[in-house]
Structure 1
Amino acid sequence: MPLFKEVILNETAVLYLWKITEDIEWFKGAAQLNLASQKRVDSMKSESHQKGFLAVRMLLQHLGYTDFDLEYDANGKPHLKDGKCLSISHSHEFSAIAVSSNPIGIDLEQMKQKTLKIASRFMDVSHLDNLSEAEKIQKATVIWGIKESVFKIKSKEGISFLNHIFENEFNLEDKKTIAQLRLNSEIENFKIVFNSVEDYIYVCAFQS
């Protein structure tokens, strides 16, 4: 299907979601790819990953860009040639991009029991106290997304989700919080917004 949803995040940033219902041949016929991207798609063994990658290109085309306007730096971080900041995420049935005038990181995750099972590896599990099982899964998914979206902005080697990225306490209905990256005696603050779409969570980080 075409663009599934557009979310205005703030005065300079917009999130775009594509729900993947098309078959792989449709994507291959519709997406404009540069040579490097074509080789990357051809090397992917998973059709789901191919679709996710190509759906991102369709979102760019929806905004008037093509794959030729997209570059990756040495850390694998995407950039648009016109200077706009870009972040990309894909999870199962959805692909997402966020475009902003300022640095931004996004993460899109399907809510799964597995995220809760591994929560102690990336977060302070006391933040899940006094919640129902469904709420624990949702909040753990949000917190994973917070860590991932902050990491996407910084892209520094050695960052530990558990030991270096911390979120302020929040309630699920808040739809926002603050996060900190504490690394090498430096503290950096990030504004966080999050929400759900179907059984997925999207999280966006903005450097304060």
Structure 2
Amino acid sequence: MPLYKTITVSPTTKVLIWKIEESFEALSEGISLTEHCNQRVMGMKSDLHKRGFMSVRHLLAAEGYIDHDLYYDENGKPHLKDDKHISITHSYIFSAIIVSDQEVGIDIEKQRSKILRIAHKFTPIEEYRTLANDDAVMRKLTFVWCAKESLYKSFACPGVSFLQHIYVEDFRLDELVTTSTVTYDEKRTTYNVYFLEFDEFTCAYALLNAND
């Protein structure tokens, strides 16, 4: 069971990360899906996407949940039937969930140089030109993308723009924590965002600021 990492953020918040090494068939053993989710996974063309989907069900099981405990609202945001908050992500060979009593979001991304070409679409790139080299810029931009993606998942409101509505407070690469805000439709919401890196991947998880 490749439960890669468990982070107990607080007594009411936990992050679980899975390294996807098994086949789809192996991951399917012992997992019961709702009819809707079974149709979703069988409709996926990518084997890696199928394996990612099933690995998330193992992460749920590690926290005592089954697929039937999970549902999605009209904006595609996941919820748990016991009213705990949940966010889900998977990228290539990693998947993760965060479960909490408070509003949360999570994202994992593979660190790739491609982000240097698309950075202008989600953040003012000139803010990162002072970093020592392209590798540092790539890492920083991946952190920022993950932060914004985690907030986007948590806020879950159609029309929110990464570039226009989500702001990530600047931080040093060795700090691995920052604050971020979503300002949209006359509403301003602040989050604390935490980062970690492993196997050339970046993970960010966001927790609603207690004052919001």
Match of 1:67 in 2: 67
**Hey, what's the Cα distance between the residues in 1 that align with 2:145 and 2:176?**
15
| Secondary structure at 1:32 match in 2 | coil
| Secondary structure at 1:137 match in 2 | helix
Shift in Å, 1:2: 2.8
1:1-208 matched pairs, under 5 angstroms: 1-131=1-131, 132-208=133-209
**Hey, what's the Cα distance between the residues in 2 that align with 1:48 and 1:30?**
19
**Displacement over 4 Å in runs of 4+:** none
Shift in Å, 1:195: 1.1
The CA RMSD measured in Å over matched residues stands at 1.2
Shift in Å, 1:5: 0.7
Q: Taking structure 1 as reference, are residues 35 and 202 closer, same or farther at Cα in structure 2, changes over 3 Å only?
A: same
CA contact (8 A) 2:3 2:18 kept: yes
| Secondary structure at 2:174 match in 1 | helix
- Matched AA of 1:52: G
CA contact (8 A) 2:91 2:108 kept: yes
Unaligned runs of 5+ in 2: none
Structure-2-length-normalised TM-score:
0.94
- Matched AA of 2:9: L
| Secondary structure at 1:109 match in 2 | strand
**Hey, what's the Cα distance between the residues in 2 that align with 1:61 and 1:182?**
35
1:80-129: per-residue Cα shift (whole Å, max 9, x none)?
11111100000000010001010100011110111121001100112212
Structure-1-length-normalised TM-score:
0.96
**Hey, what's the Cα distance between the residues in 2 that align with 1:69 and 1:117?**
40
**Hey, what's the Cα distance between the residues in 2 that align with 1:31 and 1:142?**
33
**Hey, what's the Cα distance between the residues in 1 that align with 2:195 and 2:30?**
31
Q: Percent identity?
A: 37
Which deviates further from its counterpart, 101-110 or 128-137? 128-137
**Hey, what's the Cα distance between the residues in 1 that align with 2:201 and 2:30?**
26
**Hey, what's the Cα distance between the residues in 2 that align with 1:43 and 1:204?**
29
Which deviates further from its counterpart, 22-31 or 44-53? 22-31
